[in-house]
Amino acid sequence: MEQKFAAQLYTVRDELAKGIKPVLKELKQMGWAGVQVSGLPEGYDPQEISAILKETGLGTAGMHISLDRLENDLDNVIKEADLYGTKDIVCPYLPQEYWNQEGYTKVKESLNAIARKVPEYRISYHNHAFEFETEINGVSALEYILEPSKDNLILAEVDVYWVKKGGRDPLSFIQPYANRMPIIHLKDMANDDEEFFAEVGTGKIDFVPILQWGEKSGVEWYAVEQDVCPGNPMDSLRISLENLMKFKERV
What confidence score (pLDDT) does residue 166 get? 98
Radius of gyration of the chain (CA): 17
* pTM score: 0.97
Q: Predicted confidence band at 133 (pLDDT cuts at 50, 70, 90)?
A: very high
| pLDDT band at residue 111 under the 50/70/90 scheme | very high
> What's the pLDDT tens digit per position in 216-243?
999 999 999 999 999 999 999 999 999 9
Q: How many residues does the chain have?
A: 251
pLDDT tens by residue, 174-185: 999 999 999 999
Predicted pLDDT at 101: 98
- Give residue 128's pLDDT band: very low, low, confident or very high (50, 70, 90): very high
Quote the percentage of the chain above a pLDDT of 90.
Answer: 100
Task: Set out the domains of the chain in order of their start, with CATH numbers.
Answer: 2-248 (3.20.20.150)
Mean of pLDDT values over 30-58 = 97
Q: What is the pLDDT of residue 179?
A: 98
User: What is residue 92's predicted lDDT score, i.e. its pLDDT?
Assistant: 98
pLDDT for residue 139: 98
pLDDT band at 100 (very low <50, low <70, confident <90, very high): very high
What's the confidence (pLDDT) of residue 216?
98
